[in-house]
Structure 1
Amino acid sequence: MTVYAVGDLQGCHAEFVELLERIDFDPARDRLWLAGDLVNRGPESLACLREVRALGDAASTVLGNHDLHLLAVARGGARLNRKDTLDEILSAPDREPLLDWLQSRPLLVRQDFADHEDTLMTHAGLLPRWSADEAAALAAEVEARLASESSGAFLERMYGNEPSCWQASLDGIDRLRVIVNVLTRMRFIDADGCLDFRAKEGLDSAPAGFAPWFRYPRRDDVRLLFGHWAALEGRAEGARVRTEALDTGCVWGGCLTALNLTTGERIGVPGRRRR
């Protein structure tokens, strides 16, 4: 069995199918880890959802910010943005089963591998002060709320940049919002672990006093996989932790990348330029 980690699909279904062919993926033998953002901005978000769901236990995907945005629009009263490409999903005959499946996805997946013992993937990364065990427990808090009867109320209040700093004493929606923001939106943080939401480009766009989250040291030796940050082009330069950036900007004309989690080999297929 080979496990591959794949960067953000964002509706790039044709490239996803091509990548699966390129790596000779066999769902009876191999496994996929998908870094979230299956949908939005690309032209075939509905096909991506259907494709990944059909893979069943052969594919594990974490929720990304665009996936949560889809859920917020469909079930939390949020509005579509001008650049969204989610209409086909919202009007699909199988909309509700697809949304149910998406809403049941985790925010974090984790597994021990022979050569890289503890490997963990979230969409955006991990706060340096969170241990792997703590991060898994915090992700589970959000997953439980998404699975509860109050999930609609949570999705209505999920958006927001405040609080911008994690504190263990946080509770209620403030606590859940910070967990979501760390795991699905984080790029730059300061030495206290506070998040900046303005800068979204490359490493040279860091605001004063902020740095990429992966340039801060950790106390453990977990290997971290993340997507979300297309401007990095798959390179977490200057990382002080073991990390792999997976988003190589397929939807923006870059490529879609699969990382062999045993050998470290990267395989990519070119994207069809969208913008």
Structure 2
Amino acid sequence: MKTYFIGDLQGCHAQTLTLLEHIRVAANGPYRLLFAGDLINRGPASLATLRHVYALAQQGLADSVLGNHDLHLLAVVNGIRAAHASDTLDEILAAPDRDELIGWLRSRPLVLQQDGHLLVHAGLLPQWSPQQAQELSDEVSGMLAGPDWVDFLRTMYGNEPAAWDDSLRGDDRLRCIVNAMTRLRFCTADGVMDFKMKESGTAPAGSGLMPWFDVPGRRSADATVVFGHWSALGLRLEPNLIALDSGCVWGGKLSAVCLEDRSLLQVSCPQFQQAGGKKQK
């Protein structure tokens, strides 16, 4: 069976269907789909996209990690966050199967491991080994699956603590895990996260910042980390790194990479959003 990692869908349903058909033909047999999160939002068909991935998951053909937009939907559904001007969540909020879809979404992990590959939406702090990252993901999953999950969402937002410490407990610990795994792009050499730099794949000279995967000695370097989230970085295929967000919703491409042979499949996408959140179509 072949496994395909797929980048941020962000509600681009027609392009998702086209890419999945390319995968079906290329696989020429059984296959599994692993999505890098941000299944919904900003694209034109968030509800249809979420329903389609959910149906695939119910058939045992797909799974997904949580992205920041997926968590945003959970917060909006529960009245914890207001919808943004660029959100395309109204159809989900009004859907008759909303609770079923939300129940599945909140049961998704932050990390999935498959054959030496670790899938996460955004990134990993340099102190985390793959095993520790899995354990930390499980902590958050346990909270989201429990009776206090809405209370957890109320405490999830904020940029502090900006660095990991094994002694972190409670809300601070969970917030740091979520921020790294769903929002991280740049950090310092000792793992202090920056959330201001979003529009570039490189940090300014002298800033002390670097892409999280370039931190010397990061403990996850022995695994191949697969992630999305960073459209400004674009597609990157390296020996121990696969960056999959090729900017579908921004007029780029929707990308999938086969775990077994690193073959790349892509679909070109219209520009549904531009910088500043103004919709194009």
1:70 aligns with 2:73: yes
1:13 aligns with 2:16: no
Mapped partners of 2:272, 2:203: distance in 1: 24
What are structure 2's unaligned runs of at least 5 residues? 274-281
Given that 1:103 and 1:146 are in contact with CA atoms closer than 8 Å, whether structure 2 keeps it comes out as yes
| Per-residue deviation, 1:232 | 1.1
**Which amino acid is the alignment partner of residue 19 of structure 1?**
L
| Per-residue deviation, 1:29 | 1.7
**Which amino acid is the alignment partner of residue 102 of structure 2?**
L
1:40 aligns with 2:41: yes
Partner of 1:211: 210
Deviates more, 1:71-80 or 1:139-148: 71-80
Given that 2:11 and 2:40 are in contact with CA atoms closer than 8 Å, whether structure 1 keeps it comes out as yes
| Per-residue deviation, 1:274 | 1.0
**Which amino acid is the alignment partner of residue 146 of structure 1?**
L
Mapped partners of 1:192, 1:62: distance in 2: 26
**Which amino acid is the alignment partner of residue 264 of structure 1?**
R
Mapped partners of 2:54, 2:272: distance in 1: 24
Task: Tell me how many residue pairs correspond in the alignment.
Answer: 267
Mapped partners of 1:109, 1:33: distance in 2: 9
Mapped partners of 1:71, 1:42: distance in 2: 17
Partner of 2:249: 251
1:53-76 CA distance string (max 9 Å, x none):
101221010000000000011125
| Per-residue deviation, 1:28 | 8.0
What are structure 1's unaligned runs of at least 5 residues? 113-117
- Once the two structures are superposed, the pairs formed by residues 220-239 of structure 1 within 5 Å of their partners are 220-235=221-236
Given that 1:76 and 1:155 are in contact with CA atoms closer than 8 Å, whether structure 2 keeps it comes out as no
**Which amino acid is the alignment partner of residue 196 of structure 2?**
R
Given that 1:3 and 1:32 are in contact with CA atoms closer than 8 Å, whether structure 2 keeps it comes out as yes
**Which amino acid is the alignment partner of residue 33 of structure 1?**
L
SS of structure 2 residue aligned to 1:40: coil
Mapped partners of 1:195, 1:78: distance in 2: 23
2:127 to 120, 129, 144: 129
- Once the two structures are superposed, the pairs formed by residues 36-115 of structure 1 within 5 Å of their partners are 36-56=37-57, 57-75=60-78, 77-112=80-115
| Per-residue deviation, 1:107 | 0.7
**Which amino acid is the alignment partner of residue 224 of structure 2?**
R
Given that 1:76 and 1:152 are in contact with CA atoms closer than 8 Å, whether structure 2 keeps it comes out as no
**Which amino acid is the alignment partner of residue 166 of structure 1?**
W
1:124-172 CA distance string (max 9 Å, x none):
0211210000000001000000001000100111111111111111111
1:89-133 CA distance string (max 9 Å, x none):
001111100000100111110022xxxxx1100000211210000
TM-score (norm 1): 0.93
Partner of 1:115: none
Given that 1:187 and 1:200 are in contact with CA atoms closer than 8 Å, whether structure 2 keeps it comes out as yes
- Report the identity percentage: 52
Given that 1:254 and 1:273 are in contact with CA atoms closer than 8 Å, whether structure 2 keeps it comes out as yes
TM-score (norm 2): 0.91
SS of structure 2 residue aligned to 1:78: coil
**Which amino acid is the alignment partner of residue 35 of structure 2?**
L
Partner of 1:162: 160
SS of structure 1 residue aligned to 2:24: coil
| Per-residue deviation, 1:211 | 0.4
Mapped partners of 1:243, 1:10: distance in 2: 22
Mapped partners of 2:24, 2:168: distance in 1: 46
Given that 1:12 and 1:250 are in contact with CA atoms closer than 8 Å, whether structure 2 keeps it comes out as yes
